[in-house]
Protein backbone atom coordinates (compact mmCIF):
# COMPACT_ATOMS: atom_id res chain seq x y z
CA UNK A 1 0.00 0.00 0.00
CA UNK A 2 1.01 3.62 -0.53
CA UNK A 3 2.12 5.22 2.76
CA UNK A 4 -0.34 7.80 4.12
CA UNK A 5 2.40 10.33 4.89
CA UNK A 6 5.83 11.38 3.72
CA UNK A 7 8.38 13.89 4.96
CA UNK A 8 10.38 16.61 3.27
CA UNK A 9 12.85 17.87 5.81
CA UNK A 10 10.98 18.41 9.08
CA UNK A 11 7.59 18.85 7.38
CA UNK A 12 5.15 15.92 7.25
CA UNK A 13 2.76 15.77 4.33
CA UNK A 14 -0.45 13.73 4.32
CA UNK A 15 -1.35 12.18 0.98
CA UNK A 16 -5.05 12.39 1.84
CA UNK A 17 -4.84 16.14 2.24
CA UNK A 18 -2.84 16.56 -0.96
CA UNK A 19 -5.40 14.53 -2.90
CA UNK A 20 -8.25 16.67 -1.55
CA UNK A 21 -6.33 19.80 -2.59
CA UNK A 22 -5.82 18.28 -6.06
CA UNK A 23 -9.53 17.41 -6.31
CA UNK A 24 -10.49 20.97 -5.38
CA UNK A 25 -8.03 22.48 -7.86
CA UNK A 26 -9.07 20.46 -10.90
CA UNK A 27 -12.74 21.06 -10.08
CA UNK A 28 -12.03 24.79 -9.89
CA UNK A 29 -10.05 24.70 -13.15
CA UNK A 30 -12.80 22.84 -15.04
CA UNK A 31 -15.47 25.26 -13.83
CA UNK A 32 -13.34 28.28 -14.75
CA UNK A 33 -12.80 26.98 -18.29
CA UNK A 34 -16.54 26.37 -18.75
CA UNK A 35 -17.78 29.59 -17.10
CA UNK A 36 -18.42 31.48 -20.35
CA UNK A 37 -20.82 28.72 -21.43
CA UNK A 38 -23.14 29.92 -18.65
CA UNK A 39 -22.44 33.61 -19.17
CA UNK A 40 -20.46 33.74 -15.95
CA UNK A 41 -17.28 35.80 -15.84
CA UNK A 42 -14.05 33.89 -15.27
CA UNK A 43 -12.92 36.71 -13.00
CA UNK A 44 -15.04 35.36 -10.17
CA UNK A 45 -12.78 32.30 -10.03
CA UNK A 46 -9.92 34.50 -8.85
CA UNK A 47 -12.10 36.15 -6.21
CA UNK A 48 -11.44 35.18 -2.55
CA UNK A 49 -15.22 34.87 -2.15
CA UNK A 50 -14.95 31.30 -3.46
CA UNK A 51 -13.47 30.42 -0.09
CA UNK A 52 -17.08 30.42 1.16
CA UNK A 53 -18.29 27.31 -0.77
CA UNK A 54 -14.91 25.65 -0.21
CA UNK A 55 -15.13 26.03 3.55
CA UNK A 56 -18.83 25.19 3.72
CA UNK A 57 -18.28 22.05 1.62
CA UNK A 58 -15.43 20.84 3.83
CA UNK A 59 -17.37 21.61 7.01
CA UNK A 60 -20.45 19.86 5.69
CA UNK A 61 -18.43 16.82 4.63
CA UNK A 62 -16.68 16.61 7.98
CA UNK A 63 -19.90 17.11 9.93
CA UNK A 64 -21.64 14.27 8.08
CA UNK A 65 -18.71 11.95 8.74
CA UNK A 66 -18.47 12.88 12.42
CA UNK A 67 -22.19 12.26 12.94
CA UNK A 68 -21.79 8.97 11.06
CA UNK A 69 -18.93 7.89 13.37
CA UNK A 70 -20.03 9.69 16.53
CA UNK A 71 -19.47 6.53 18.57
CA UNK A 72 -15.77 6.95 17.76
CA UNK A 73 -15.41 10.74 17.96
CA UNK A 74 -17.43 11.01 21.16
CA UNK A 75 -14.61 9.14 22.91
CA UNK A 76 -12.02 11.70 21.83
CA UNK A 77 -13.56 15.01 20.72
CA UNK A 78 -10.23 16.52 19.70
CA UNK A 79 -10.00 13.97 16.88
CA UNK A 80 -12.89 15.75 15.14
CA UNK A 81 -10.40 18.27 13.76
CA UNK A 82 -7.97 15.58 12.53
CA UNK A 83 -9.17 15.87 8.95
CA UNK A 84 -5.80 14.72 7.61
CA UNK A 85 -6.54 11.25 8.98
CA UNK A 86 -9.46 10.94 6.56
CA UNK A 87 -13.18 11.20 7.05
CA UNK A 88 -15.26 13.35 4.72
CA UNK A 89 -18.88 12.46 3.96
CA UNK A 90 -19.73 13.29 0.36
CA UNK A 91 -23.42 13.96 1.06
CA UNK A 92 -22.48 16.59 3.62
CA UNK A 93 -19.93 18.01 1.19
CA UNK A 94 -22.52 18.39 -1.57
CA UNK A 95 -24.99 20.09 0.79
CA UNK A 96 -22.28 22.40 2.09
CA UNK A 97 -21.12 23.30 -1.42
CA UNK A 98 -24.66 24.10 -2.57
CA UNK A 99 -25.19 26.32 0.47
CA UNK A 100 -21.87 28.07 -0.15
CA UNK A 101 -22.64 28.76 -3.80
CA UNK A 102 -26.09 30.01 -2.79
CA UNK A 103 -24.39 32.62 -0.60
CA UNK A 104 -21.94 33.56 -3.36
CA UNK A 105 -24.75 33.87 -5.92
CA UNK A 106 -26.66 36.23 -3.64
CA UNK A 107 -23.62 38.33 -2.79
CA UNK A 108 -22.52 38.61 -6.42
CA UNK A 109 -26.07 38.93 -7.79
CA UNK A 110 -25.65 35.89 -10.07
CA UNK A 111 -28.47 33.53 -11.07
CA UNK A 112 -28.16 30.59 -8.68
CA UNK A 113 -29.27 27.75 -11.00
CA UNK A 114 -26.69 28.41 -13.78
CA UNK A 115 -24.02 28.47 -11.06
CA UNK A 116 -25.12 25.01 -9.92
CA UNK A 117 -25.15 23.81 -13.55
CA UNK A 118 -21.60 25.08 -13.97
CA UNK A 119 -20.18 23.44 -10.84
CA UNK A 120 -22.00 20.08 -11.18
CA UNK A 121 -19.37 18.47 -13.49
CA UNK A 122 -16.62 19.89 -11.28
CA UNK A 123 -18.18 18.24 -8.25
CA UNK A 124 -18.19 14.88 -10.03
CA UNK A 125 -14.60 15.32 -11.15
CA UNK A 126 -13.51 16.28 -7.65
CA UNK A 127 -15.39 13.31 -6.18
CA UNK A 128 -13.70 10.91 -8.59
CA UNK A 129 -10.22 12.18 -7.71
CA UNK A 130 -11.03 12.41 -4.01
CA UNK A 131 -11.85 8.70 -3.85
CA UNK A 132 -8.15 8.00 -4.30
CA UNK A 133 -7.79 9.40 -0.79
CA UNK A 134 -9.95 6.56 0.50
CA UNK A 135 -7.49 4.12 -1.05
CA UNK A 136 -4.54 5.86 0.59
CA UNK A 137 -6.21 5.87 4.02
CA UNK A 138 -7.68 2.38 3.58
CA UNK A 139 -11.27 3.48 4.22
CA UNK A 140 -14.52 3.15 2.31
CA UNK A 141 -13.71 -0.35 1.05
CA UNK A 142 -16.17 -3.21 0.55
CA UNK A 143 -16.51 -6.79 1.76
CA UNK A 144 -13.78 -9.44 1.40
CA UNK A 145 -13.10 -10.76 -2.09
CA UNK A 146 -10.82 -13.18 -3.93
CA UNK A 147 -11.03 -11.22 -7.18
CA UNK A 148 -7.70 -10.20 -8.66
CA UNK A 149 -8.47 -6.48 -8.25
CA UNK A 150 -9.19 -6.82 -4.53
CA UNK A 151 -7.05 -4.47 -2.45
CA UNK A 152 -4.98 -5.41 0.58
CA UNK A 153 -6.15 -3.80 3.82
CA UNK A 154 -3.87 -3.64 6.84
CA UNK A 155 -5.05 -5.68 9.87
CA UNK A 156 -5.64 -2.55 11.99
CA UNK A 157 -8.02 -1.14 9.35
CA UNK A 158 -10.17 -4.25 8.96
CA UNK A 159 -13.60 -4.53 10.62
CA UNK A 160 -13.59 -7.02 13.50
CA UNK A 161 -15.90 -9.43 11.68
CA UNK A 162 -13.46 -9.59 8.76
CA UNK A 163 -10.21 -9.67 10.72
CA UNK A 164 -9.13 -12.95 9.08
CA UNK A 165 -9.49 -11.60 5.54
CA UNK A 166 -6.80 -9.59 3.79
CA UNK A 167 -8.24 -8.45 0.44
CA UNK A 168 -11.40 -6.41 -0.01
CA UNK A 169 -13.53 -4.90 -2.75
CA UNK A 170 -12.09 -1.49 -3.76
CA UNK A 171 -15.46 0.21 -3.49
CA UNK A 172 -13.78 3.63 -3.66
CA UNK A 173 -12.49 2.78 -7.14
CA UNK A 174 -15.89 1.48 -8.21
CA UNK A 175 -17.41 4.82 -7.31
CA UNK A 176 -14.54 6.77 -8.86
CA UNK A 177 -15.09 4.93 -12.16
CA UNK A 178 -18.85 5.57 -11.99
CA UNK A 179 -18.20 9.24 -11.28
CA UNK A 180 -15.84 9.49 -14.27
CA UNK A 181 -18.45 7.91 -16.56
CA UNK A 182 -21.16 10.21 -15.22
CA UNK A 183 -18.85 13.18 -15.72
CA UNK A 184 -18.51 12.43 -19.43
CA UNK A 185 -22.28 11.95 -19.76
CA UNK A 186 -22.94 15.21 -17.92
CA UNK A 187 -20.53 17.18 -20.13
CA UNK A 188 -22.21 15.80 -23.25
CA UNK A 189 -25.69 16.57 -21.95
CA UNK A 190 -24.61 20.08 -20.96
CA UNK A 191 -24.03 20.95 -24.63
CA UNK A 192 -27.66 20.26 -25.50
CA UNK A 193 -29.71 21.09 -22.41
CA UNK A 194 -29.79 24.78 -21.63
CA UNK A 195 -32.60 25.24 -19.09
CA UNK A 196 -31.09 26.67 -15.87
CA UNK A 197 -30.93 23.99 -13.20
CA UNK A 198 -31.23 21.08 -15.60
CA UNK A 199 -27.61 19.94 -15.49
CA UNK A 200 -27.48 20.13 -11.71
CA UNK A 201 -30.68 18.10 -11.58
CA UNK A 202 -29.12 15.43 -13.78
CA UNK A 203 -26.08 15.45 -11.51
CA UNK A 204 -28.22 14.77 -8.45
CA UNK A 205 -30.19 12.06 -10.26
CA UNK A 206 -27.16 10.31 -11.77
CA UNK A 207 -25.01 10.46 -8.66
CA UNK A 208 -27.76 9.35 -6.28
CA UNK A 209 -28.41 6.29 -8.45
CA UNK A 210 -24.71 5.41 -8.71
CA UNK A 211 -24.20 5.90 -4.97
CA UNK A 212 -27.27 3.82 -4.17
CA UNK A 213 -25.74 0.98 -6.20
CA UNK A 214 -22.17 1.29 -4.91
CA UNK A 215 -23.44 1.43 -1.34
CA UNK A 216 -24.24 -2.28 -1.53
CA UNK A 217 -20.44 -2.84 -1.58
CA UNK A 218 -19.76 -0.66 1.48
CA UNK A 219 -19.37 -2.20 4.92
CA UNK A 220 -18.47 0.87 6.94
CA UNK A 221 -21.34 3.29 6.43
CA UNK A 222 -23.93 4.75 8.76
CA UNK A 223 -26.87 2.44 9.49
CA UNK A 224 -30.07 2.56 11.50
CA UNK A 225 -31.11 -0.99 12.16
CA UNK A 226 -30.85 -2.81 8.85
CA UNK A 227 -31.19 0.35 6.74
CA UNK A 228 -28.19 2.21 5.34
CA UNK A 229 -28.56 5.96 5.80
CA UNK A 230 -26.74 6.54 2.50
CA UNK A 231 -29.53 4.64 0.73
CA UNK A 232 -32.11 6.87 2.38
CA UNK A 233 -30.18 10.02 1.51
CA UNK A 234 -29.64 8.83 -2.08
CA UNK A 235 -33.38 8.28 -2.45
CA UNK A 236 -34.17 11.75 -1.09
CA UNK A 237 -31.55 13.37 -3.35
CA UNK A 238 -32.96 11.46 -6.34
CA UNK A 239 -36.42 12.85 -5.61
CA UNK A 240 -34.98 16.37 -5.20
CA UNK A 241 -33.19 15.97 -8.54
CA UNK A 242 -36.42 14.94 -10.26
CA UNK A 243 -38.18 17.92 -8.70
CA UNK A 244 -35.51 20.38 -9.89
CA UNK A 245 -35.57 18.83 -13.37
CA UNK A 246 -39.34 19.20 -13.65
CA UNK A 247 -39.17 22.74 -12.34
CA UNK A 248 -36.42 23.60 -14.81
CA UNK A 249 -38.35 22.24 -17.76
CA UNK A 250 -41.77 23.63 -16.89
CA UNK A 251 -41.19 26.84 -14.95
CA UNK A 252 -42.42 29.97 -16.72
CA UNK A 253 -39.43 31.76 -15.28
CA UNK A 254 -37.01 29.27 -16.83
CA UNK A 255 -35.22 30.63 -19.89
CA UNK A 256 -32.83 28.98 -22.27
CA UNK A 257 -29.22 30.00 -21.87
CA UNK A 258 -27.82 31.71 -24.95
Question: What average pLDDT does this structure show over 195-199?
Answer: 92
Q: How do the domains of the chain map onto residue ranges?
A: 11-250
Under the banding of pLDDT at 50, 70 and 90, the label for residue 239 is very high
pLDDT digits (tens, 9 = 90+) for 49-83: 999 999 999 999 999 989 888 888 888 888 888 87
Asked whether the predicted pLDDT for residue 209 surpasses 80, the reply is: yes
Q: What is each CA distance from 18 to 130, 179, 222, in whole angstroms?
A: 10, 20, 26
Instruction: Report phi then psi at 254, rounded to 5.
Output: -85, 125
pLDDT digits (tens, 9 = 90+) for 1-21: 666 777 787 777 778 888 889
Q: What is the pLDDT of residue 68?
A: 82
How many C-beta neighbours within 10 Å does residue 24 have?
Answer: 17
Under the banding of pLDDT at 50, 70 and 90, the label for residue 217 is confident
Under the banding of pLDDT at 50, 70 and 90, the label for residue 191 is confident
Question: What average pLDDT does this structure show over 224-240?
Answer: 91
Selection from 173, 175, 169, 167 nearest residue 214 by Cα: 175
Q: What is the pLDDT of residue 258?
A: 44
Please tell me whether 157 is known to bind a ligand.
no
% of the chain exceeding 70 in pLDDT: 95
pLDDT digits (tens, 9 = 90+) for 147-161: 999 999 999 889 888
- DSSP letters, 115-146, are HHHHHHHHHHHHHHHHHHHHHHHT-S--SB--
Residues paired with residue 14 on neighbouring β-strands, in sequence order: 5
Report the sign of the C-alpha dihedral through residues 43, 46, 49, 52, in that order: positive
Q: Is 5 helix (H, G, I), strand (E, B) or coil?
A: strand
Lowest mean pLDDT among 120-129, 149-158, 222-231: 222-231
pTM for the model stands at 0.88
Residues 6+ positions from 69 with CB-CB distance below 8 Å: 87, 222
Q: What is the pLDDT of residue 1?
A: 60
Asked whether the predicted pLDDT for residue 87 surpasses 80, the reply is: no
What average pLDDT does the chain have? 88
Amino acid sequence: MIPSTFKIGFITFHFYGLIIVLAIYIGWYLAKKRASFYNISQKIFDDPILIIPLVSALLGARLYHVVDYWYVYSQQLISIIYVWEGGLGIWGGIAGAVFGFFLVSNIKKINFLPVLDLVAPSLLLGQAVGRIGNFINQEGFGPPTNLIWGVYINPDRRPDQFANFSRFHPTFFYEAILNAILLVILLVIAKKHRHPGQIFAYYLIFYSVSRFISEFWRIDTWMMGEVKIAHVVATIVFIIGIGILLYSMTSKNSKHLT
